[in-house]
A and B are shown apart, each in its own frame.
Chain A
Amino acid sequence: DARVTQTPRHKVTEMGQEVTMRCQPILGHNTVFWYRQTMMQGLELLAYFRNRAPLDDSGMPKDRFSAEMPDATLATLKIQPSEPRDSAVYFCASGFPDEQYFGPGTRLTVT
């Protein structure tokens, strides 16, 4: 049963620290999406990749967020420096191309 995996599942960090979230997409999927979900803003698309190339990162605060796919089995989302307003659940999803299968999410708390 193929699934998207995300690590860590929970992260508590102090403001100013670097946070790296990792995602392993389903083997064979050629698109990877990063989302952020909060009660106030709902589900926001941050960035997505197709065949490891970034197609759209317009939803991402460029000054502190970065997303990469070093290889087909790993996608990363990095926040540096983190701020309290970054507290949210971050979901990764993979698809072929648009039927998306979501991971369980990383719950980030920045104090």
Chain B
Amino acid sequence: GQQVMQIPQYQHVQEGEDFTTYCNSSTTLSNIQWYKQRPGGHPVFLIQLVKSGEVKKQKRLTFQFGEAKKNSSLHITATQTTDVGTYFCAGRDYGQNFVFGPGTRLSVLP
């Protein structure tokens, strides 16, 4: 079945450093979404990517969808303590199967 992996599983950074998490699917995706979950909270929708090679930016966050639509990345420039949380990718394949990745937990040291 469809599988989505995320690397790294955990990342500790110093405030001000950059951070990147990668999402890799075993199958081609029709779309991909990214979510952020703060400790004790619920996942919050960040963005959806649909087109091959698509790049979207939200302030310090840059999201990319790979050319083959099987991988994606989220890059945060100059992390802040407010970026702490777990970042999930999720996606649907062309067979209408939907799956969430296991997440990357980000810690930011002040």
Cα–Cα, bound, A14→B31 (Å): 41
Partner of B45, one of A43, A48, A55, A100: A100
Q: Is the CB of A100 within 8 A of B102?
A: no
Cα–Cα, bound, A74→B44 (Å): 21
Q: Is B84 an interface residue (CB 8 A)?
A: no
Q: Is the CB of A102 within 8 A of B33?
A: no
Interface size on A, residues (CB 8 A): 19
Nearest A residue to B102 by beta-carbon distance? Answer: A42
**A56 and B42 contact, Cβ closer than 8 Å, known pairs A99-B33, A100-B33:** no
Tell me, rounded to whole Å, the shortest Cβ–Cβ distance linking B50 to chain A.
10
Partner of A105, one of B42, B45, B88, B90: B42
Cα–Cα, bound, A43→B103 (Å): 9
Tell me, rounded to whole Å, the shortest Cβ–Cβ distance linking B6 to chain A.
10
Interface of A is mostly: strand
Interface size on B, residues (CB 8 A): 18
Interface residues of B in 12-29 (CB under 8 A from A): none
Q: Is the CB of A45 within 8 A of B100?
A: yes
Q: Is the CB of A104 within 8 A of B98?
A: no
Most buried by A among B31, B88, B100: B100
Cα–Cα, bound, A46→B102 (Å): 15
List A residues at the B interface (Cβ < 8 Å): 33, 35, 42-45, 48, 55-56, 91, 93, 98-105
When A and B form their complex, which 9 residue pairs have the shortest distance between CB atoms, in order from nearest? A102-B42, A102-B43, A42-B102, A43-B100, A99-B48, A99-B45, A105-B42, A104-B42, A98-B92
List B residues at the A interface (Cβ < 8 Å): 31, 33, 35, 42-45, 48, 88, 90, 92, 96-100, 102-103
8 contacting pairs across A/B (C-beta < 8 A): A42-B102, A43-B88, A55-B96, A98-B48, A98-B92, A100-B45, A102-B35, A102-B42
